[in-house]
Structure 1
Amino acid sequence: MKKLSVLIISLFCLPALAQVKKAVFVIADGIPADVIERLKLPGMQQIINEGAYIRLHVGGDRGTYNETPTISAVGYNSLLTGTWVNKHNVPDNDIKEPNYHYPTIFRLFKDQYPQKKIGVYSSWTDNRTKLVGDNLPQTGQLKVNDFADGYELDTIHFKHDKQRDFMHRIDEQVISKASEAIKTKAPDLSWVYLEYTDDMGHMYGDSPQMEEAVKKLDQQLTSLYQAINYRKKQYHEDWLLVVTTDHGRDEKAGHNHGGQSDRQRTTWMITNNHNLNSYAQSGDAAIVDIMPTLARFLKVNIPDSTRREVDGIPLIGPVSIANAKATYIQGTISLSWSHFTPEGKVKIWGSTTNNVKTGGKDEYFYFGEANVKDGHALVDVKQHPSNFYKIVLQGAYNTVNTWVIVPGTK
Structure 2
Amino acid sequence: MNTQKLFKALLLAIYVAICSCNNAIIDTQPNNQVEPNSNLRTASGKHVLFIGIDGLQYEKMANVSTPNLDKLNISKGFTGGIMGTPSEQSTYSGPGWATLLTGVWFDKHGVPNNSSSTYKSQAKSIFAYVKEAQPNAEIASVAVWSPIHEFMENDMSYVDRRYDGGDDAHAVTWAVNDLQDENTDLLFVHLDNVDHVGHASGWGSAYNNAIAEVDVQVGTLLQAVEDRIDQTGEDWLIIVATDHGRDPSLGYSHGNQTTYEKTIFVGMNKAGNDEFNSSVTSIPNSGFNGLYGTVAQTSVAPTILRHLGITIQPEWQLASAPLIGEDGPRKVMQASQGGNSVFWYSQSSNSANIYRNNQLVGTIAGNQGNFTDTTATIGLNTYTVELNGATGSFSMYGNSNNLSISAALDWNDLANNTAYFFRNDYQYVRYNKSNDSADAGYPKPVNSSTWPGLDSYKELISASFKWHNQYGYFFMSDGRYLKYDMSTDQVLSGYPKQVNNSTWPGLQGYGDKIVAALNWDNDKAYFFLNDGTYISYSISNDQVDTGYPKAIDNSSWSGLEPYGNAITAALDWDSTYCYFFLSDNTYIKYNKSTNTAESGYPKAINSSSWPGLM
User: Which bracket does the TM-score occupy, shorter chain normalised?
Assistant: 0.7 to 0.9
Q: In the aligned structure 2, how far is the partner of 1:329 from the partner of 1:98?
A: 30
Q: Which one-letter code corresponds to 1:201 in the other structure?
A: G
Alignment-derived partner of residue 277 in structure 2: 281
Change (3 A) 1:198 1:228: same
Alignment-derived partner of residue 291 in structure 1: 301
Change (3 A) 1:379 1:192: same
Residue 203 of structure 2, aligned match among 190, 201, 206: 206
The question of 1:315 aligning with 2:323 is answered yes
Alignment-derived partner of residue 179 in structure 2: 182
Conserved 8 A contact 1:278-1:340:
no
Alignment-derived partner of residue 145 in structure 1: 160
Per-residue Cα deviation, 1:19-63 (whole angstroms, up to 9, x for no partner): 211101111111111111332111212x22xxx111111100012
Q: How does 1:193-342 map to 2 (within 5 A)?
A: 193-274=190-271, 276-283=272-279, 284-306=294-316, 309-326=317-334, 333-341=340-348
Shift of 1:88: 0.6
Change (3 A) 1:335 1:38: same
3-state SS of the aligned residue for 2:301?
helix
Give the number of the structure with larger relative contact order, counting CA–CA contacts within 8 Å between residues 6 or more apart: 1
Change (3 A) 1:204 1:115: same
Conserved 8 A contact 2:130-2:310:
yes
Alignment-derived partner of residue 399 in structure 1: 391
Per-residue Cα deviation, 1:307-356 (whole angstroms, up to 9, x for no partner): xx2112100001232222335899x7233221142x222222224xxxxx
Per-residue Cα deviation, 1:352-385 (whole angstroms, up to 9, x for no partner): xxxxxxxxxx6x2x3332222222233311xx53
Q: Which one-letter code corresponds to 2:345 in the other structure?
A: S
Q: Which range moved further: 34-43 or 249-258?
A: 34-43
Q: Which one-letter code corresponds to 1:335 in the other structure?
A: V
Alignment-derived partner of residue 353 in structure 2: 347
The question of 1:113 aligning with 2:134 is answered yes
Shift of 1:303: 3.9
Residue 374 of structure 1, aligned match among 357, 368, 379: 368
Change (3 A) 1:244 1:100: closer
Conserved 8 A contact 2:314-2:384:
no
- Larger helix proportion of the pair: 1
Q: Which one-letter code corresponds to 1:149 in the other structure?
A: D
Conserved 8 A contact 1:345-1:370:
yes
Instruction: Give the total of aligned pairs.
Output: 349
3-state SS of the aligned residue for 1:243?
strand
Conserved 8 A contact 2:242-2:265:
yes
- Larger strand proportion of the pair: 2
Q: How does 1:92-171 map to 2 (within 5 A)?
A: 92-98=113-119, 100-128=121-149, 130-133=150-153, 138-139=154-155, 142-151=157-166, 170-171=167-168
Per-residue Cα deviation, 1:292-311 (whole angstroms, up to 9, x for no partner): 000000112334421xx211
Alignment-derived partner of residue 528 in structure 2: none
Shift of 1:270: 1.6
Change (3 A) 1:270 1:324: closer
Q: In the aligned structure 1, how far is the partner of 2:93 from the partner of 2:181?
A: 30
Structure 2 residues without counterparts, runs of 5 or longer: 1-40, 280-293, 404-423, 427-614
3-state SS of the aligned residue for 2:84?
coil
Structure 1 residues without counterparts, runs of 5 or longer: 1-15, 152-169, 352-361
3-state SS of the aligned residue for 1:348?
strand
Conserved 8 A contact 1:87-1:99:
no
The question of 1:68 aligning with 2:70 is answered no
Q: Which one-letter code corresponds to 1:394 in the other structure?
A: E
Shift of 1:387: 2.6
Conserved 8 A contact 1:328-1:404:
no
The percentage of aligned residue pairs carrying the same residue is 25
Shift of 1:390: 2.4
Alignment-derived partner of residue 356 in structure 1: none
Q: In the aligned structure 2, how far is the partner of 1:131 from the partner of 1:385?
A: 33
Shift of 1:18: 4.7
Q: How does 1:45-84 map to 2 (within 5 A)?
A: 45=70, 47-48=71-72, 52-84=73-105
Alignment-derived partner of residue 436 in structure 2: none
Q: In the aligned structure 2, how far is the partner of 1:379 from the partner of 1:302?
A: 24
Change (3 A) 1:385 1:112: closer
Conserved 8 A contact 1:320-1:340:
no
Q: In the aligned structure 1, how far is the partner of 2:198 from the partner of 2:265?
A: 17
Alignment-derived partner of residue 164 in structure 1: none
RMSD over equivalenced CA pairs, Å: 2.3
Q: Which one-letter code corresponds to 2:116 in the other structure?
A: I
Q: In the aligned structure 2, how far is the partner of 1:242 from the partner of 1:286?
A: 14
Q: In the aligned structure 2, how far is the partner of 1:285 from the partner of 1:25?
A: 16
Q: In the aligned structure 2, how far is the partner of 1:198 from the partner of 1:77?
A: 17
Residue 192 of structure 1, aligned match among 170, 189, 194: 189
Conserved 8 A contact 1:277-1:315:
yes
Q: In the aligned structure 2, how far is the partner of 1:292 from the partner of 1:202?
A: 31
Q: Which one-letter code corresponds to 2:89 in the other structure?
A: T
Q: Which one-letter code corresponds to 1:39 in the other structure?
A: V
Shift of 1:246: 0.7
3-state SS of the aligned residue for 2:174?
helix
Q: In the aligned structure 2, how far is the partner of 1:143 from the partner of 1:369?
A: 36
Q: In the aligned structure 1, how far is the partner of 2:193 from the partner of 2:301?
A: 24
Per-residue Cα deviation, 1:133-167 (whole angstroms, up to 9, x for no partner): 2xxxx44x72422223233xxxxxxxxxxxxxxxx
Alignment-derived partner of residue 161 in structure 1: none
Q: In the aligned structure 2, how far is the partner of 1:325 from the partner of 1:127?
A: 28
3-state SS of the aligned residue for 1:19?
coil
Change (3 A) 1:120 1:367: closer
Change (3 A) 1:37 1:368: same
3-state SS of the aligned residue for 1:310?
coil
